[in-house]
Structure 1
Amino acid sequence: MYLPKHFDEPRVETIHALIREHPLATLVVRGPDGFEANHVPFLVDPQPGPFGTLRAHVARNNPTWQHLQANPEALVIFSGPQAYISPSAYPSKQEHGRVVPTWNYFAVHAQGSVKVIEDTEWLRKLVTELTDHFEAGRENPWKVTDAPEEFVQNMLAAIVGIEMPVTKFVAKRKASQNRSEADRWGVVEDLRRDGHEAAASLIE
């Protein structure tokens, strides 16, 4: 990922927060016919440091896990808030006109070597954690134990776990850091008018 210094986001806690808020990632692996991408929700565990561990599961019928057994190196891409930035948002447009459109966004690339896991109890723990995480805050949260045990067993047999200790994060928070303070606040106001509150919050 092209990463000018002023857009670099090195703080691991900030990266983990983005992953928790935007868990659906693109898992890129190398298969026999080249690169293959799948879209998978991940949980992030801060341990072990410094970068933590990503965990998820894929369908057993999905050949991705077999590709990972042959070549465990993977790239996991998370995308956060993003929005188009119009030159009209910049007060400097009125001063000199030397402005162009751009795009603000927050993206994280995680790299590591993936372990494939078929242990039923590990998978049960994972799907329970996933469920509890995504059901949190609902008025009547669904639990894995709400489903019949035989059905749960059958569902667990149909998935395969993946676990990736992260060896490298590359995070880009492109939030108008290269603009003047006046232009940055102009972008915030413009994004809020257009309903892009999350993208505006990247700048503050």
Structure 2
Amino acid sequence: MLIHPWDAAHEDREWRDWLARHDFGQLAVNGLPGEPPWVQPMHFRYDSEPGPHGQVLAHLARPNPLWRALEQNPTVLLSVVDDYAFVPGPWAAPEGAPAEHGTPTSFYAAVQLRCTAHVVDDPAEKAESLNRQVAHFQPGGGTDPVAPGEAPFGRLLSGLRVLRLDVTEVRAKFKYANHKPEPVQDRIVEGLTSRAGRGDAEAAAHQVRRRP
């Protein structure tokens, strides 16, 4: 992922705060010899500790073919992308230039976590991890806790495996037009606000927030 200086996160807190609000991504795993990489969409829980970059918890069904690839190479990449919007050329035209000379572009926020994967099969550890994940997605409760051998979920533990991903490197990108003159930025924000499509409000907010 190319990251220009003006697209880079201003500080770690920026990407950490963004990731705290985004918990669905795609896990890329190196394929077995002769096969392309495998990509698994999944929900996950990100915790800023332990380690300098934090840790990710997730779980997948035991029959998932991903496990064989992880045994060969535990180095993986979790990619999270959101707050994206298409910006029509006229919105981004340079000051004083004809609108039709503007270059269309894409806006988006992206965080890529390079991780070392650990597979958890111990029933007690799996239950603890699953309860932590449910607590993240259902902070108000409403679901019985998981306990090995106990109803209603204990019997399901054998059908899944937990992934603990220790984050070793982070690449974060906020691709908005903060390198362009403010009048151009204002025009883009106005266009996004007026269009009000999927992701437009979030993209406009990033555009305003990241101004120097």
Q: Specify if TM > 0.5.
A: yes
Unaligned runs of at least 5 residues, structure 2: none
Contact 1:175–1:203 (CA<8 Å) still a contact in 2?
yes
Q: What amino acid maps onto 2:105 in structure 1?
A: T
Q: CA offsets per residue over residues 127-181 of structure 1, 9 Å max, x none?
A: 22222222236xxx42233999333112221111111111111111001112111
For the aligned residues, what is the CA RMSD? 2.2
1:120 aligns with 2:123: yes
Deviation at 1:117, TM superposition (A): 0.8
Aligned 8 A contact 1:10 1:171 in 2: no
Runs of 5+ unmatched residues, structure 1: none
Say whether the 8 Å CA contact 1:65–1:160 is kept in structure 2.
no
Q: Contact conserved, 1:132 with 1:143, CA < 8 A, in 2?
A: no
Q: Give 1:90 deviation, angstroms.
A: 4.0
Count, aligned residues: 200
Change (3 A) 1:13 1:123: farther
Q: Which letter does structure 1 place at the counterpart of 2:122? A: D
TM-score (ref. length: structure 1): 0.89
Matched, 1:71 2:73: yes
In structure 1, the partner of 2:173 is 172
Residue 128 of structure 2 aligns to a residue whose secondary structure is helix
The one-letter code sitting in structure 2 at the alignment partner of 1:30 is N
Match of residue 129 from structure 1: 132
Whether the 8 Å contact between 1:80 and 1:106 is mirrored in structure 2 is yes
Aligned to 2:28: 28
Contact 1:15 1:171 in 2 (8 A): yes
Instruction: Extract structure 1 runs of 4+ deviating beyond 6 A.
Output: none
Question: Residue 193 in 1 paired to residue 194 in 2?
Answer: yes
> Secondary structure of 1:9's partner?
coil
- Report the TM-score when normalising by structure 2: 0.85
What is the distance in 2 between the residues matched to 1:124 and 1:73? 24
